[in-house]
Amino acid sequence: MQSSMKAGLMLFATFVLGGIAGALGAGAMAQRRLGPPPPPRDGRPPMGFVELVEDIVQPHDSVQRASVRPLLEATDRRNRAIVDGARVNMRASLDSLTALAREYPQVPMLQSTLGQALMAAGATDEALDTFRRALTLSPRNVPLTMRYADCLLKAGQAKTAHAVLLDLFNNVVPTPEQIRFTALAASSAGDTADAAFYMSEYHISTGNLPLSVAQLEMALATPDITNVQRSRFQARLDEVREAMFTDRQRRKNAEKEQQRKEQHPEGEGRHASR
């Protein structure tokens, strides 16, 4: 029963988020079509949609203007109706999702969905507060923390995003993509050396040790790194270089063994028969 309720909540949250995204998209597209009024030109007041299109089309005479204007006015009314409807739908969707999230504060996906919806609606402070409240109930929840960090980056709070991700991945093993996202947060926060170190870890996780070495050398070359950072970067660089050396030796030994078998196939056969 408990699992079916959670599944139902997740489905409903996904549906609501889809409705919000659709409303936001419709509103954004309509706003783009209408656009802000152009700046005054030659001392004339800003033009509305109808006047703007007429200025672009430039009807030849009053007859042509009279035939075009009703179409432009109808289009203007339709665009405004789309914008107004999108705003109403978006607010209604947000209200429904907010009520649902308050009723089930223990469901991280609902809180995350609400936070993302508020962020998309431009309510940045409300969105970040929603994520913070959710994380007090579900600390170090990986999807919730990742979305919180993403919203922090969009809000221009890269330092906080970096700190949040660092706390998470000091306790949870990250995936390669999560490591790369942490590097992005560090880079956005101006933590260049840490960003290079995280990218070296990303390349280790994908098996590209030469690129890992290059990133670690870049981290060590960053000015004003602390002694702790320098020791950590150098120790990791030594480990990666040792791994590369061991791997080369293993490949060389394997190649020599293969060559020996190719040069003495009969001896191998007699040895196997014994």
Quote the pLDDT of residue 95. 83
Q: Which two tokens stand for residue 74?
A: 């109808």
Tell whether 1 is covered by a domain.
Answer: no
Final residue before a domain boundary, out of 130, 146, 176: 176
The pLDDT-based confidence of 58 (bands split at 50, 70, 90) is confident
Tell whether 51 is covered by a domain.
Answer: yes
Quote the pLDDT of residue 46. 52
Tell whether 40 is covered by a domain.
Answer: no
Quote the pLDDT of residue 37. 45
Q: What is the mean pLDDT of residues 242-258?
A: 90
Q: What is the mean pLDDT of residues 204-231?
A: 96
Together in a domain, 143 and 97: no
The residue among 249 and 14 whose pLDDT is bigger is 249
Quote the domain boundaries for residue 239: 191-263
Together in a domain, 92 and 22: yes
Together in a domain, 51 and 115: no
Final residue before a domain boundary, out of 125, 146, 176: 176
Final residue before a domain boundary, out of 121, 153, 176: 176
Quote the pLDDT of residue 13. 45
Together in a domain, 212 and 246: yes
Tell whether 93 is covered by a domain.
Answer: yes
Is the confidence at residue 92, as pLDDT, over 60? Answer: yes
Together in a domain, 128 and 81: no
What are the C-alpha distances in Å from 46 to residues 79, 172, 180, 201, 230?
Answer: 18, 56, 47, 55, 59
Tell whether 181 is covered by a domain.
Answer: no
- Looking at the 3D structure of the chain, how many domains does it have? 3
Together in a domain, 19 and 96: yes
Instruction: Kindly report the average pLDDT of the chain as a whole number.
Output: 80
Together in a domain, 168 and 129: yes
In the chain, the amino acid numbered 105 is P
Tell whether 10 is covered by a domain.
Answer: no
Q: What is the mean pLDDT of residues 147-163?
A: 97
Q: What is the mean pLDDT of residues 24-44?
A: 45
Together in a domain, 61 and 31: yes
The pLDDT-based confidence of 96 (bands split at 50, 70, 90) is confident
The residue among 32 and 74 whose pLDDT is bigger is 74
Together in a domain, 92 and 139: no
Q: The domain spanning residue 119 has which CATH number?
A: 1.25.40
Q: What is the mean pLDDT of residues 224-252?
A: 95
Together in a domain, 19 and 86: yes
Q: Mean pLDDT lowest for which of 35-49, 62-76, 89-103, 120-134?
A: 35-49
Is the confidence at residue 157, as pLDDT, over 80? Answer: yes
Is the confidence at residue 10, as pLDDT, over 90? Answer: no
The pLDDT-based confidence of 185 (bands split at 50, 70, 90) is very high
Together in a domain, 99 and 119: no
Is the confidence at residue 268, as pLDDT, over 90? Answer: no
What are the C-alpha distances in Å from 64 to residues 3, 49, 52, 69, 75?
Answer: 66, 18, 16, 9, 17
Quote the pLDDT of residue 194. 97
Together in a domain, 204 and 233: yes
The residue among 116 and 77 whose pLDDT is bigger is 116
Q: What is the mean pLDDT of residues 21-45?
A: 46
Round to whole Å and give the CA distance between 117 and 236: 41
The pLDDT-based confidence of 67 (bands split at 50, 70, 90) is confident
